[in-house]
């Protein structure tokens, strides 16, 4: 589990319950709230929100959430995806998020992923970020 800073939160795009398409494109220029200090470095890689489909983020009954979805590689070479999910309001300086690396997805291929036990803060929704890492 990583502690995500506002910089990470602003990169996350909001997701709708069972939507097959991400609701928004991540921002490429993160900003911090006044006085906020990032607790982890900003993720590196290229945002690829279109690679995500069938995303679901639901409470698991234990006070945490489970996120699932499908990542599709539309490129002509193998890629590694990095998926970060955070549950809570976006105006809190630091929050917990979970990140999962999905390595070696073949060109033109797709893979299912699951992230378990995502910590949640009340009063917010699920946010997801998908990157291809270098």
Q: Which residue has the tokens 């890629």?
A: 79
Q: Is the pTM of this model over 0.75?
A: no
Q: What is the pLDDT of residue 43?
A: 65
Q: What are phi and psi of 52, to 5 degrees?
A: -95, 130
Confidence of residue 91 (pLDDT cuts 50, 70, 90): confident
Q: How far apart are CA 82 and CA 106, in angstroms?
A: 15
Q: What is the mean pLDDT of the chain?
A: 75
CB atoms within 10 A of CB 122: 7
Domain spanning 2-27+38-132, CATH class: mainly beta
In sign, the C-alpha dihedral spanning 82, 88, 91, 93 is negative
Q: How far apart are CA 74 and CA 51, in angstroms?
A: 7
Tell me the two tokens of residue 33: 């709230």
Q: How far apart are CA 68 and CA 10, in angstroms?
A: 21
Residue 11: enclosing H or E segment and its boundaries? helix 6-11
pLDDT digit string, tens, across residues 5-46:
333 333 343 333 443 333 333 333 344 444 444 444 566 789
**Domain ranges (residues) in the chain:** 2-27+38-132
Distance between first and last Cα of the chain: 21
Distance (Å) of CA 110 to CA 41, 66, 82, 105, 120? 28, 20, 14, 7, 28
């Amino acid at each position: 589990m990583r502690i995500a800073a506002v910089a990470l939160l602003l990169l996350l795009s909001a997701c709708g319950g069972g939507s097959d398409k991400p609701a928004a494109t991540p921002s490429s220029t993160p900003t911090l709230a006044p006085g906020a200090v990032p607790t982890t470095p900003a993720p590196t890689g290229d945002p690829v929100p279109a690679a995500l489909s069938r995303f679901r983020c639901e409470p698991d009954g234990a006070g945490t959430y489970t996120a699932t979805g499908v990542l599709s590689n539309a490129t002509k070479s193998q890629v590694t995806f990095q998926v970060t999910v955070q549950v809570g309001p976006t105006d809190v300086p630091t929050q917990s998020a979970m990140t999962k690396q999905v390595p070696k997805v073949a060109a033109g291929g797709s893979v299912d992923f699951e992230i378990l036990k995502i910590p949640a803060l009340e009063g917010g929704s699920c946010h997801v970020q998908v990157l291809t890492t270098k």
